Amino acid sequence: MSIDHAAQRVALADPVLDRRTPGEEFAWAVAGAPQGTDVVVPFRVALPQSFPLFGTRPRYAVRHLLKTATVPDRAVPYVHEAPPPGPAQAGTTYASVPESGFTPSIRSAALTDLAVTVPLPKGLVDEPSLLAAFIDYRVLVRLSAVENEALLHGTPDGVIEGLLTLPQARRGPLAGDLGDVLTTAAAEVETTGGSCDGAVVHPAVYWRLVRDGLLGQLNAAGITVSRTRMIAANQVLLGDFKAAVTLLDPGVGSLVLRQGAGPDGTDLVEARTRSGLALHLPQHFLLLADD
């Protein structure tokens, strides 16, 4: 659903959220909005990073595995390094390691909007504190889930390529003892010259890691584990996330109140964030799957 640019736009006192939350800003902005008028509340931040519980508990979204760059609101050039053909087998001299044959080139990464629409209970816009909490704790978490989906599976417009579908990423089996498989795969990631610094797993796999004491060992080795429902339970993605890709943040986001736009005449809130992904070294990823 696209934003109606003819709608009322509200200039915020704190658009970069130094002092207030997105929900607090939104509740302030829509207070007293004319009946039947859409209200666009723009921000100069990536809204998914503002989900308040990210700061109080160690649950990591996919974005937390990536380095982020602040960029202009346009296509961004970046350096991509293509691997040489053949298997990634590393010798003991620089000339015999894969990265000695990487071919750098300049590419361009476009930006795209990620969005989610959530119905508002009748009367919620008249309760500013309750509305603010609903935005911060329920709407932003949905937008974070949409962002996880985009980063792993790509966007419908093809602007963001999903990390689970990169043709240059390597593949391997997810079979046998989980600890043995993950440590072997982490070492395999590093044959291309990277450092395995992250893994994306389904919650079912994450809690197996907790039960077996493997999560703490992975963390001690510098591997941050992101758990999300957006990856299948029979898959694990490992990689040098911070070297391989950059999350591009132009600082463009918005919350939109759509009055009476729901199927039963209730209000809707639409949360949007704009982002892109620069793929520097897709060969630094290894996807394990139990087919």
Tens of pLDDT, residues 37-96: 899 999 999 999 999 999 888 899 999 999 999 999 999 999 999 998 877 678 889 988
Give the whole-angstrom CA distance, residue 221 versus residue 138.
33
Residue 249: pLDDT above 70? yes
Instruction: Evaluate if residue 4 carries a pLDDT over 60.
Output: no
pTM for this model (two decimals): 0.91
Please name the amino acid found at residue 160.
I
pLDDT at 6: 44
Look at residue 8 and tell me whether its pLDDT is greater than 80.
no
pLDDT at 246: 98
Residue 242 belongs to what H/E stretch? helix 241-244
User: What band does 109 get if pLDDT is binned at 50, 70 and 90?
Assistant: very high
pLDDT of residue 3: 42
Q: Which residues contact 285 (CB under 8 A, 6 or more apart)?
A: 163, 166, 169, 170, 189, 237, 238, 239, 240, 244
Tokens encoding 163: 């990390």
* CA–CA distance, 108 with 142 (Å, rounded to integer): 29
Q: Closest Cα to residue 125, out of 22, 30, 43?
A: 30
Return the pLDDT at 14: 54
Full 3-state SS string of 60-88: CCHHHHCEEEECCCCCEEEEEEECCCCCC
**What pLDDT shows up at residue 65?**
98
Report, as an integer, the average pLDDT of 159-179.
95
Please provide the average confidence, as pLDDT, over all residues in the chain: 92
